[in-house]
Amino acid sequence: MSDRLHDAFAYRADEDNTRVLHVEDVPVPSIAQRLGTPFYCYASATMVDLYGRFAAALEGTRALICYALKANDNLAVIQSFARLGAGADVVSEGELRFARAAGVPAERIVFSGVGKTEAELAFALDEGILQFNVESAPELARLNAIALDKGLRAPIALRVNPDVAAATHDKVSTGRRHDKFGIALERIPALYAEAARLPGVTLMGLALHIGSQITELSPFETAITRVVELALRLKGQGLPLTRLDLGGGLGIDYGDDRPPSVKDYGALLSRLTAKLDIELAIEPGRALIGPAGLLVTRVVYLKEAGDRTFVIVDAAMNDMLRPALYGAEHPALPVAEPDPRAPQGPVDIVGPVCESADTFARDRLMPPLQPGELIAFGQAGAYGAVMASSYNRRPLVPEALVKGTAVATIRERWGYAEMLARERRPDWLA
Ligand SMILES: Cc1ncc(COP(=O)(O)O)c(C=O)c1O
């Protein structure tokens, strides 16, 4: 089953000659011993490999790979991509600050999002970022005013809503007419011409992002084709256009998905934009960090109820929300390599939180499991730790980064004392 995971994850013999799941050269149980469970851990080698695939796929174009921080905003993760040459796609002042703290140069940062506040726009202007992806006429007006006030010009792209259904989960589709993102395609020419006249902005081009976990090339092809046609029209009218930001969204394999390769995705982008001969930016998140992460948890109890067997683990929806939010399922691997002859049976893998949605897998075929055993959820590097909370007063989950034989704790588990210390009681309760 580990063949679904990146090569950095494999069953190998540990020091005691027991075959266990490794992250690069580190046995998973040794990280569990150090951090306790549950925890996330990431393989540096996978990040390097995946970034390299994007860079290779876009060779020959003038493309900047802006890692979408929303997928995983741990400082060490951002810094790992920054070291490889990545820029950043941010959607808040917090993400912008983290990108800068991780060493991403401001001139490699694009700022997306429908609700950028005045304070966020001002902060990003002062930082001198590469581009604001403007998502509405009011945002354009506000950014222009703030920039004028500061005696600056804001480099902008207008984000196009191309009205394309991305064949993905409803909650991660962003490019349909009724989605809140971007500006309707037919409204762009007028707004673009207006933006060209504004003294507080410099018009760089157009931006696009149609959704996430997209596992076919056709929605990308349709959307990019529409945007390239639009770009050609705008250029034909003598309007400035030097960059196209094509967003992120490339899917990964959670089990039954068969996403296109990064190579084919890159080839499509190159082909569709060739006529324009301009700078490109892309904003991959999931496809860069998803396959690099595991969420490791320990079996607490086995419980038989009716005709079901529940494997109750110590990770919960507060640690990884995707199953509860999207009905997503992740590969689940026993950390101790199962005997291939062991009979497999259907189980429900559930967490301890008081919600039925706290279910990681239903009717999953697993070999026999024992309380105390470790299970690793694969493909958990993206939209995992970032969405974690302390719901049910569970301390925020820690994260580790592996590189060869080295392990670093890159976010510590919150302590109960720390959680208590952040609370304040009003005088009237004293
Ligand atoms: C504007 C924007 N860019 C990039 C991304 C990253 O998407 P993904 O992680 O699917 O590559 C998102 C996420 O939905 C987004 O909203």
Does the residue 87 lie in any domain?
A: no
Residues 388 and 272 in one domain: no
Atom of ligand 1 nearest to the CA of 284: 11
Does the residue 220 lie in any domain?
A: yes
**pTM, two decimal places:** 0.96
The pLDDT of residue 210 is 93
Ligand 1 site, residue 112, Cβ cutoff 6 A: yes
Residues 121 and 202 in one domain: yes
The pLDDT of residue 2 is 44
The CATH number covering residue 8 comes to 2.40.37.10
Ligand 1 site, residue 175, Cβ cutoff 6 A: no
The answer to whether 400 and 412 are in contact (CB under 8 A) is no
Does the residue 100 lie in any domain?
A: no
The pLDDT of residue 181 is 84
Residues 298 and 341 in one domain: yes
Task: Please tell me the distance from the alpha carbon of residue 397 to that of residue 315, in angstroms, as a whole number.
Answer: 9
Residues 159 and 212 in one domain: yes
Does the residue 105 lie in any domain?
A: no
The pLDDT of residue 3 is 53
Eight-state DSSP code of residue 76: H
Judge whether 354 counts as a catalytic residue.
yes
Residues 276 and 296 in one domain: no
Does the residue 69 lie in any domain?
A: no
Residue at which a domain ends, from 284, 301, 328 = 284
Residue at which a domain ends, from 224, 254, 284 = 284
Residues 224 and 264 in one domain: yes
The pLDDT of residue 167 is 67
In angstroms, what is the span from residue 411 Cα to ligand 1's centroid? 23
pLDDT tens-digit profile, the chain (430 residues): 345 799 999 999 999 999 999 999 999 999 999 999 999 999 999 999 999 999 999 999 999 999 999 999 999 999 999 999 999 999 999 999 999 999 999 999 999 999 999 999 999 999 999 999 999 999 999 999 999 999 999 999 999 999 898 766 776 666 667 778 889 999 999 999 999 999 999 999 999 999 999 999 999 999 999 999 999 999 999 999 999 999 999 999 999 999 999 999 999 999 999 999 899 999 999 999 999 999 999 999 999 999 999 999 999 999 999 999 999 999 999 999 999 999 999 999 999 999 989 999 999 999 999 999 999 999 999 999 999 999 999 999 999 999 999 999 999 999 999 999 999 999 999 8
The CATH number covering residue 148 comes to 3.20.20.10
Question: Range of 265's domain?
Answer: 112-284
Q: Which of 81, 283, 322, 383 to mutate to test the pocket of ligand 1 (most atoms within 8 A of CB)?
A: 283
Ligand 1 site, residue 142, Cβ cutoff 6 A: no
Residue at which a domain ends, from 284, 308, 332 = 284
Name the β-bridge partners of 9: 23
Does the residue 53 lie in any domain?
A: no
In angstroms, what is the span from residue 47 Cα to ligand 1's centroid? 17
Does the residue 310 lie in any domain?
A: yes
Task: Please tell me the distance from the alpha carbon of residue 196 to that of residue 413, in angstroms, as a whole number.
Answer: 49
Does the residue 74 lie in any domain?
A: no
Residues 146 and 173 in one domain: yes
Eight-state DSSP code of residue 344: P
Residues 213 and 150 in one domain: yes
Residues 253 and 365 in one domain: no
Out of 305, 354, 417, 421, the active site residue is 354
In angstroms, what is the span from residue 232 Cα to ligand 1's centroid? 25
Atom of ligand 1 nearest to the CA of 285: 9
Ligand 1 site, residue 93, Cβ cutoff 6 A: no
Atom of ligand 1 nearest to the CA of 382: 9
Residues 300 and 412 in one domain: yes
In angstroms, what is the span from residue 285 Cα to ligand 1's centroid? 6
Residues 256 and 117 in one domain: yes
The pLDDT of residue 180 is 81
Half-sphere exposure of 2 (CA within 13 A, CB side): 22
The answer to whether 108 and 87 are in contact (CB under 8 A) is yes
Q: Which of 64, 70, 109, 265 to mutate to test the pocket of ligand 1 (most atoms within 8 A of CB)?
A: 70
E strands along 367-420, which residues?
Answer: 374-377, 399-403, 406-411
In angstroms, what is the span from residue 283 Cα to ligand 1's centroid? 6
Ligand 1 site, residue 162, Cβ cutoff 6 A: no
Atom of ligand 1 nearest to the CA of 212: 10
Please report which residue ranges of 93-247 form alpha helices under DSSP H.
Answer: 93-101, 118-127, 137-150, 188-197, 218-236
Task: Please tell me the distance from the alpha carbon of residue 430 to that of residue 425, in angstroms, as a whole number.
Answer: 7
Task: Please tell me the distance from the alpha carbon of residue 229 to that of residue 244, in angstroms, as a whole number.
Answer: 12
The pLDDT of residue 165 is 82
Ligand 1 site, residue 286, Cβ cutoff 6 A: yes
Let me know how long the chain is: 430
Eight-state DSSP code of residue 323: H
How many domains is the chain partitioned into structurally? Answer: 2
Residues 279 and 297 in one domain: no
